[in-house]
């Protein structure tokens, strides 16, 4: 079935539905339609989480073998990313630091501990979400990712996003936000509003919220910066119809 036909017919049905007359959510409708299509065209023997988990693990093995850029020969461990294969929210950081390089796991150092607090403040657990990075290997001395490294590594993240198909991506910091949105705007300009990430032809765009990286928050801790991150996360929770925890609602 042609994507354009599907989108059109779903949109028409929504527009005719009296219950949805006020504000049809085309993106949600297209996503549901694609899921129904997939169900009726097979692939339901190994479905959902199991299938995604297997694909993510295969991809993680590829990342661990990767020598696609010079970082592959200076790392201790590659850090493919981890979390729920069926996550509704995917966090994307910049690149592993020293702790992540040592353990092969994302966001396990100080910035990771602060990210854990942000996740907990949202009423979520690490096992609810998926955490990945633009680069899968640590740049020496935590320098900024280089364009050639991003070009070489980005397909891994793009494939993770395709497999997980989250409803919202939270881009942590300028490198993640600029890379995923293909823009040079500053994080100050990008944060606070939803953008669209295009995962491929025929796929509905995924909502992307950019916010400050927790490493930036650690370096520039202020009630104002902290409030901004919380404002951004409240928008993410509202978008997903998730409750906003009271103790954190400040
Ligand atoms: N900072 C990142 O961007 N990613 C990590 O995994 C850890 C720190």
Q: What is the pLDDT at residue 200?
A: 87
Question: Residue 228 class from Cβ within 10 Å (0-12 exposed, 13-18 middle, 19+ buried)?
Answer: middle
Q: What is the pLDDT at residue 248?
A: 53
In short, whether 94's Cβ falls inside 6 Å of ligand 1 is yes
pLDDT per residue rounded down to tens, the chain (250 residues):
333 333 333 333 333 333 444 455 666 666 666 555 555 544 443 446 689 999 999 999 999 999 999 999 999 999 999 999 999 999 999 999 999 999 999 999 999 999 999 999 999 999 999 999 999 999 999 999 999 999 999 999 999 999 999 999 999 999 999 999 999 999 999 999 999 999 988 999 999 999 999 999 999 999 999 999 999 999 999 999 999 998 654 4
Q: Using an 8 Å Cβ cutoff, are 105 and 82 in contact?
A: yes
In short, whether 229's Cβ falls inside 6 Å of ligand 1 is no
In short, whether 111's Cβ falls inside 6 Å of ligand 1 is yes
> Which atom belonging to ligand 1 lies closest to the Cα atom of 133?
4
C-alpha of residue 111 to centroid of ligand 1, in Å: 7
pLDDT in tens, 206-224: 999 999 999 999 999 999 9
pTM: 0.83
In short, whether 164's Cβ falls inside 6 Å of ligand 1 is no
Q: What is the pLDDT at residue 67?
A: 97
> Which atom belonging to ligand 1 lies closest to the Cα atom of 108?
7
In short, whether 93's Cβ falls inside 6 Å of ligand 1 is yes
pLDDT in tens, 103-154: 999 999 999 999 999 999 999 999 999 999 999 999 999 999 999 999 999 9
In short, whether 174's Cβ falls inside 6 Å of ligand 1 is no
Ligand 1, atom 7, lies closest to the CA of 107
Distance CA 237, CA 168 (A): 10
Q: What is the pLDDT at residue 70?
A: 97
Tell me which of 133, 171, 176, 213 to substitute to probe ligand 1's pocket, judged by most ligand atoms within 8 Å of the beta carbon.
133
C-alpha of residue 96 to centroid of ligand 1, in Å: 4
In short, whether 96's Cβ falls inside 6 Å of ligand 1 is yes
């Amino acid at each position: 079935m042609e994507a354009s036909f599907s989108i059109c017919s779903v949109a028409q049905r929504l527009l005719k539905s009296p219950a949805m007359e006020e504000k049809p959510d085309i993106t949600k409708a297209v996503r549901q339609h694609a899921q129904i299509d997939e169900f009726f065209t097979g692939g339901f023997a190994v479905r959902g989480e199991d299938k995604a988990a297997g694909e993510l693990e295969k991809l993680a093995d590829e990342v661990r073998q990767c020598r696609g850029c010079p970082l592959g020969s200076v790392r201790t461990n590659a850090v493919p990313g981890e979390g729920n294969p069926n996550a509704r929210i995917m966090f994307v950081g910049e690149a592993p630091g020293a702790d992540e390089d040592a353990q092969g796991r994302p966001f396990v150092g100080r910035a990771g501990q602060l990210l854990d607090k942000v996740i907990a403040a949202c009423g979520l657990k690490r096992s609810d979400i998926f955490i990945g990075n633009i680069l899968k290997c640590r740049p020496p001395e935590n320098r900024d990712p280089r364009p050639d490294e991003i070009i070489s590594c980005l397909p891994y993240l793009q494939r993770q996003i395709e497999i997980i198909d989250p409803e919202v991506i939270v881009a942590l910091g300028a490198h993640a936000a600029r890379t995923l949105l293909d823009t040079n705007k500053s994080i100050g300009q990008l944060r606070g509003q939803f953008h669209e990430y295009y995962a491929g032809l025929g796929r509905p765009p995924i909502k992307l919220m950019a916010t400050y990286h927790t490493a930036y928050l650690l370096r520039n801790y202020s009630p104002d910066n902290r409030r901004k991150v919380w404002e951004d996360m409240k928008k993410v929770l509202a978008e997903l119809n998730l409750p906003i925890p009271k103790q954190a609602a400040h």
